[in-house]
């Protein structure tokens, strides 16, 4: 990777992005190429197909590469493309998760979480083999890359990694059953006529039964496209609902500033002032 980075800089004039160390950028008055690398997996994109092909040929002279063509699969994420959109989903990964949990023949359910259910440390009996729970929940975390609708449930399950119980395992398997019935759901990336960042944030004050800490979540849209989302338990106990809301707002503000910085590096500068809804 060091040699690749040096070659990109010396031979092509790429610069390493300041806000994402896995991204390299080449930009002049007519051409923009972005190069993403993770260990030995690479994605190249830009505004000129001819220059991208020339770049791949030159790169292949110096390093052993296998050109897989148009992006269709990357780190467990499948990509289905049409003339005006990309659909990101993880049906193959979910199928392997069902096999690991031995739930291939289970009946799918519509909701990821039982209505009104609130898990706590004291629910159920301690598991004889907690590694099973930790493995399943760790795998579910990866599903949130294309499934923002399960992010809250997965975050809740992650809070019991140190002492999982039968109730926690049952909730994890319920979530997997939900994925079976919605395995083709994912993120749709389309062209947006408006380049405006809009973000939504909310906080559930003192929602944790065990330590009374709040949970906050946010989502960020670029135009009409959802590009970032998160659910997490706050690190401190808020004394009021207003304080918990401010903590959540600070988290999404940091995320929006990072997104703006990345967009600026790839020469996306005509972005409207970010707006928010609480």
DSSP conformation letters of 66-115: ----S--EETTEEEEE-SSEEEEE-HHHHHHHHHHTT-TTPPP-S-SS-T
Answer for the pair 241, 272: CB distance below 8 angstroms, yes or no.
Answer: no
Q: What is the CA radius of gyration of the chain?
A: 22
Q: What is the pLDDT of residue 251?
A: 93
Instruction: Among 158, 181, 204, give the residue marking a domain's end.
Output: 181
Instruction: Among 181, 205, 237, give the residue marking a domain's end.
Output: 181
What is the C-alpha separation between 21 and 202, in angstroms, rounded?
A: 30
Within a 10 A sphere around the Cβ of 165, how many other Cβ atoms?
20
Based on the domain organization, do 135 and 211 belong to the same domain? no
- Lay out the sheet containing 41-46: strands in order across: 15-16, 23-27, 32-38, 41-46
Q: Is residue 260 part of a domain?
A: yes
- Start-to-end C-alpha separation, the chain: 42
Instruction: Give 99's contacts (C-beta < 8 A, 6+ positions apart).
Output: none
Confidence (pTM) = 0.85
Q: What angle do CA 196, 197, 202 make, to 5 degrees?
A: 145
Q: What domain range includes position 50?
A: 2-69
Q: Highest-confidence range of 98-102, 110-114, 188-192, by mean pLDDT?
A: 98-102
What is the C-alpha separation between 145 and 91, in angstroms, rounded?
A: 12
Answer for the pair 266, 46: CB distance below 8 angstroms, yes or no.
Answer: no
Based on the domain organization, do 201 and 262 belong to the same domain? yes
Q: Is residue 187 part of a domain?
A: no
**Confidence at 189, pLDDT banded by 50, 70, 90:** very high
Considering only 3-17, 29-43, 129-143, which range has the smallest mean pLDDT? 3-17
Based on the domain organization, do 155 and 205 belong to the same domain? no
Instruction: Among 128, 159, 181, give the residue marking a domain's end.
Output: 181
Q: Is residue 119 part of a domain?
A: yes
Within a 10 A sphere around the Cβ of 121, how many other Cβ atoms?
16
**In the predicted structure, residue 273 carries a pLDDT above the cut 80:** no
Q: How many domains does the chain have?
A: 3
Q: What is the pLDDT of residue 84?
A: 84
Within a 10 A sphere around the Cβ of 82, how many other Cβ atoms?
8
Q: Is residue 82 part of a domain?
A: no
Closest CA to 199 of 272, 95, 131, 102: 272
Q: What is the pLDDT of residue 194?
A: 80
**In the predicted structure, residue 50 carries a pLDDT above the cut 60:** yes
What is the C-alpha separation between 261 and 180, in angstroms, rounded?
A: 37
Beta strands at 41-46 and 73-74: parallel, antiparallel or unpaired: unpaired
Q: Is residue 186 part of a domain?
A: no
**In the predicted structure, residue 151 carries a pLDDT above the cut 90:** yes
What is the C-alpha separation between 3 and 215, in angstroms, rounded?
A: 43
**In the predicted structure, residue 83 carries a pLDDT above the cut 90:** no
What is the C-alpha separation between 92 and 95, in angstroms, rounded?
A: 5
Q: Is residue 79 part of a domain?
A: no
Considering only 1-10, 141-150, 181-190, which range has the smallest mean pLDDT? 1-10
Based on the domain organization, do 96 and 152 belong to the same domain? yes
Q: What is the pLDDT of residue 116?
A: 58
Q: Is residue 7 part of a domain?
A: yes
Q: What angle do CA 10, 36, 226 make, to 5 degrees?
A: 145
């Amino acid at each position: 990777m060091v040699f690749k980075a040096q070659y990109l800089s010396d031979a092509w004039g790429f610069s390493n992005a300041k806000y994402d160390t896995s991204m390299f950028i080449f930009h002049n008055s007519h051409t923009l190429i972005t190069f993403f690398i993770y260990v030995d997996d690479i994605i190249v994109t830009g505004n000129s197909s001819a220059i991208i092909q020339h770049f791949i040929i030159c790169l292949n002279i110096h390093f052993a590469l296998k050109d897989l063509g148009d992006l269709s699969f990357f780190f467990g994420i499948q990509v289905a493309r049409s003339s005006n959109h990309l659909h990101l989903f993880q049906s193959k990964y979910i199928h392997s998760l069902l096999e690991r949990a031995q739930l291939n023949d289970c009946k799918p359910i519509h909701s990821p979480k039982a209505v009104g259910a609130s898990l706590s440390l004291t629910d159920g009996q301690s598991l004889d083999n907690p590694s099973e729970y930790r493995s399943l929940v760790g795998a579910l975390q990866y599903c949130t890359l294309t499934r923002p609708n399960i992010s809250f449930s997965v975050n809740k399950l992650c809070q019991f990694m140190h002492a999982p119980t039968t109730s926690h395992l049952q909730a994890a398997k319920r979530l997997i059953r939900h994925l079976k019935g919605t395995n083709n759901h994912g993120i749709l990336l389309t062209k947006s006529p408006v380049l405006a960042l809009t973000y939504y944030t909310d906080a559930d004050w003192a929602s944790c039964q065990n330590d009374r800490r709040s949970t906050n979540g946010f989502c960020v849209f670029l135009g009409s496209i959802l590009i970032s989302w998160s659910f997490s338990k706050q690190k401190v106990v808020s004394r009021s609902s207003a304080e918990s809301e401010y903590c959540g707002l600070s988290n999404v503000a940091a995320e929006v500033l990072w997104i703006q910085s990345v967009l600026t590096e790839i020469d996306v500068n005509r972005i409207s002032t970010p707006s928010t809804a609480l």
